[in-house]
Structure 1
Amino acid sequence: MRRGWVLGGLAAAVATAAVAYEASPWPRVWLLRFFAGDGSDPVSATAPHIQPGLEQRLDLRYDGSRPECLLDVYQHEGTRPLPALIWVHGGGFVTGAKEPLRPYLSVVASHGFTTVNLDYTPAPEALHPDQVHQLGRAVQYVVDHAAELDIDPDQLVLGGDSAGAHIVAQAVLASLDREYAAGAGITEFLDPARIVGVALASGPFDPAAAMAVRGPFRWYLRTVLWAYSGSRSFAKDPEFAYSSITPHVHADFPPAFLTSGPRDPLAVQSHALAARLREVGGDVDEVVLEETSRSGHVFDFDLGSSDARLALGRLVAFLRRVTTTPHRHGASDAW
C-alpha cells in the first residue's frame, strides 16, 4: 500500500511538472539560466588588453522603477567630451548581465570613446516592449547627464549583441518609423538625430524566419520568444510580425556595423539585414569571416581570438568614421 502511495505521489508530481512546463515559460527559463554560458572565458582573455588610465563609473541607476536598470561608464584620460558607444548585452532576452562585457568595452574605450554598458530587466520578469523602453531611458539618462559624464550627446552609437542587438535595432527603427512603432507596440522613442550609428553583433533580426529551423535551436527560440512576448501563441500575435527588423528597414536607418561568425546559427540573419540595408541605400560595414573560421555566435568579446581582434579593429574604424572623436592610440592600434 505504501509503495502505491509513493508511486502515485511521484506520478502526480511528474504530471504537475509536465503541466507547469507547458503552461508557463518559467520552467524552461530556469533551465536556460541554470545552464547559461558556453564554457568560454572572454573576460580573462580580454582583460590583459585594458590600457592604464581607465576611469570607471559603475552601477549608475538610469531608471528608478526597476532594480536591474543600472549602467557603467568607461573612459580614458584625454580630450572631452567624447562620443559614446552605448551597449546592450545579449542572453536570449532571459539571461545575461553587463559585468562580463566590462573588459571588452573598457578596451573599446581605450581608442578615445566613452563606452556605456547597461543592464535591463530580463524576460519574463518584464515583457516586450519594456526592454526597448528601458534602452530609451538609458539613452535619455546619458543625454541628461552628458556634461557630468563628459559625453557628447549628439554623437551616440548604439550597440548590442544577440538579443541586445535586436533591442537596439528595434528601438532605432521604431524611433524612425512611427507606423512600425505602433504595430510593434512601442510608445517611447529615441531622438534619431543623436544616433550616428549602430553596432550589431549576431542579432536575431528575423525571429519569424528563425522559427523555421528544426532541432534544439527551435526549442530555444520558442522558449525565449514565449518569455519575451508573454504569450505561448506569440506567432499568432500581430505584433510578432514587427519583431522582424529586416523587412522594415529603410534608407534613413543609421550607419550599421554588423558581425557574426560562420558557426553562428543566426549568421544568415546578419547577412540578410546587411543585404537589405545595401538594397535600400543604407551605409553598411559587415565583417564576414572566412568559412573555415570556427567562430560562432557573438565571438567578438574574446580578444584571445584573432577573429575577435579583427572585428574590434573594424569596429574601431567604424566608430572613428561615424564620429569626430580625437584619435587616441588604443589597444587595437598596436596589433
Structure 2
Amino acid sequence: MSTAAPVEESARPERRRRRWRRTKITLGILLAVAAVVAIIGSITPWPSAMVIRAVFTKGGDDTAAEMDRHVPDTKLTETLDVAYADGGADTTMDVFSPASASGPLPTVIWIHGGAWVSGAKENVDPYLRILAGEGYTTIAVNYTLGPEGVYPLAVTQLNEALAYIDAHAEELGVDPTQIVLAGDSAGGQLASQLATLITNSDYAEIMGLAPALRPDQLVATVLNCGVYDLSALAELNGLVGWGFKSSMWAYSGAKDWAEGSTGATMSTIDWVTADFPATYISGGNGDGLTWLQSIPMAKRLDELGVDVTTLFWPAPHEPQLPHEYQFHLDQPDARTALEKTIAFLDAHTTR
C-alpha cells in the first residue's frame, strides 16, 4: 500500500497530457473542417443552400401540420401530382375543388415559398383545401428549386404550368377567365413575376417568354410576405442577409446576382404597370420584409392606380407577427388574414 500512492500521483500528469493531446487533435480536426466548409462555401452555394433548405423544410412541415387542424370537413375532389411538364416531381401540381361543384370555378393558383431553395406544394395544400372549401378550384404548383435549377427555369416552368391549366381547364374544374395568381415569400415574388409577365409586354420581351395567359384571364393576385425589390434585399446584413444572399446565389447560379439581369428582372416593383391585376398584399409587423418589400410594393401599385387591398399591422402590434404569419392558423391574426383573403377573392370573382 505504501508504494501505490506515488505511482498513482505520477500517472496523473501523463493522463492529463494525453487528454490535452486528444483535445488538441479534436480541435484541430474541427478547425480544419470549418476551414474546408468556409472555402467550399466561398466557391459554391451548395453547403449554405442545403443548410437553409433543412431549416425551411422543418418549418414548412410544422406549419402544414398546424394548418391541417383548421381544414374543415367540407368534402373535396382532390387530384394530386398532376404532371404539367416532363420534369418529374418538380413539374407537378395538386388540384382541389368542392365535391359539390357542377362546373368550372374561379381558380387560385398558389406558388409555395422557401427562399427559392426549399419548399414544396405539400406545404400549402392545407391552406388550399381551406380555400377550396369556400367554393374555388385551388392548385398548388411545384417548380425546380435552386441550386438544382438556375433562374429563370422556375419562371419558365410556372409559365408552362399556366399553359397546361389553361389547356386542361375543363377537366381540372378551372374557369380560365377567372385566374388568381397567389404565393407566399419567394412564391409571392414568383406570382408577382408571372403577373407582370402577363400584363407587361415589354417585360415579357425582356424575359424572352411568351405569357401563357392573356391579361383578361388574370383577375387578381394574392401576395403574402413576398420579395419585389432585389436591390433592397442585396443591402441586408447579418444572418438574414447571409441567408437571402446565399439563397439567391443558389437560385441564380451567380454570386453577383444583384448586379445583372437576375436581380433586375426579379425586381417586379420596377416593372409593374397600371394593367397589373387587383392585388391583396400582406405581411407581419415582425417580418423585416414587410417594411422593406411588401409595403413599398403596395405603395407602388397604388401609385399606378391598381386596386390594392392591404393587411398590414401597426409596428407596436403584439404579438409580433413573423414571416409567413398567415399560415399560423392557431393564432387569431392569421385567421383574420384568412378571412380577409377569402373576402378579397369573393370580391374579385363570380361563381
TM-score normalised over the length of structure 1 = 0.89
- The answer to whether 1:193 aligns with 2:219 is no
- Structural RMSD (CA): 2.3
How far the C-alpha of 1:13 sits from its partner, in A, is 5.2
Contact kept? 2:63, 2:327, Cα under 8 Å: no
Aligned partners of 1:290 and 1:190: how far apart in 2? 38
Correspondence for 1:43 among 48, 61, 65: 65
Other structure's SS at 2:101 match: coil
Deviations 1:15-59 (A, max 9, x none): 443321100000101111222244853423443432331111111
Aligned partners of 2:157 and 2:132: how far apart in 1? 23
Contact kept? 1:66, 1:121, Cα under 8 Å: no
Correspondence for 1:110 among 105, 111, 133: 133
What's the counterpart of residue 100 of structure 1? 123
Deviations 1:62-88 (A, max 9, x none): 111343111111111234210100000
1:10–1:133 Cα change, 3 Å: same
Matches within 5 A, 1:49-60: 49-60=71-82
Structure 1 counterpart of 2:126, which letter? P
What's the counterpart of residue 331 of structure 1? none
What's the counterpart of residue 150 of structure 1? 173
What's the counterpart of residue 127 of structure 1? 150
Aligned partners of 2:220 and 2:162: how far apart in 1? 14
1:278–1:126 Cα change, 3 Å: same
The higher radius of gyration belongs to 2
Count of aligned residue pairs for this structure pair: 323
Contact kept? 2:284, 2:325, Cα under 8 Å: yes
Aligned partners of 1:207 and 1:300: how far apart in 2? 23
Structure 2 counterpart of 1:51, which letter? D
1:34–1:309 Cα change, 3 Å: same
Other structure's SS at 1:200 match: strand
1:19–1:283 Cα change, 3 Å: same
What's the counterpart of residue 340 of structure 2? 314
What's the counterpart of residue 274 of structure 1? 298
Deviations 1:131-179 (A, max 9, x none): 1111111111111111111211111101000000111111221232233
Q: Mean Cα displacement is larger for which, 153-162 or 286-295? A: 286-295
What's the counterpart of residue 328 of structure 1? none
What's the counterpart of residue 227 of structure 1? 250
Q: Which one scores higher on RCO, CA 8 angstroms, separation ≥ 6? A: 1
What's the counterpart of residue 30 of structure 1? 50
Relative to its length, the structure with more helix (as a share) is 2
Correspondence for 2:323 among 279, 290, 297: 297
What percent of counterpart residues are identical? Answer: 34
- The answer to whether 1:213 aligns with 2:236 is yes
Contact kept? 1:206, 1:245, Cα under 8 Å: yes
Matches within 5 A, 1:249-260: 249-260=272-283
What's the counterpart of residue 160 of structure 1? 183
Other structure's SS at 2:124 match: helix
1:273–1:7 Cα change, 3 Å: closer
Contact kept? 2:67, 2:126, Cα under 8 Å: no
What's the counterpart of residue 103 of structure 2? 80
- The answer to whether 1:67 aligns with 2:93 is no
Contact kept? 1:198, 1:254, Cα under 8 Å: yes
How far the C-alpha of 1:288 sits from its partner, in A, is 1.6
Contact kept? 1:133, 1:188, Cα under 8 Å: no
Correspondence for 1:246 among 248, 269, 272: 269
1:314–1:242 Cα change, 3 Å: same
How far the C-alpha of 1:181 sits from its partner, in A, is 3.4
Aligned partners of 1:279 and 1:237: how far apart in 2? 27
Aligned partners of 1:239 and 1:219: how far apart in 2? 18
Aligned partners of 1:275 and 1:20: how far apart in 2? 41
Q: Mean Cα displacement is larger for which, 28-37 or 91-100? A: 28-37
Correspondence for 2:286 among 248, 255, 263: 263
1:113–1:11 Cα change, 3 Å: closer
Aligned partners of 1:68 and 1:157: how far apart in 2? 21
Gapped runs of 5+ residues in structure 1? 326-335
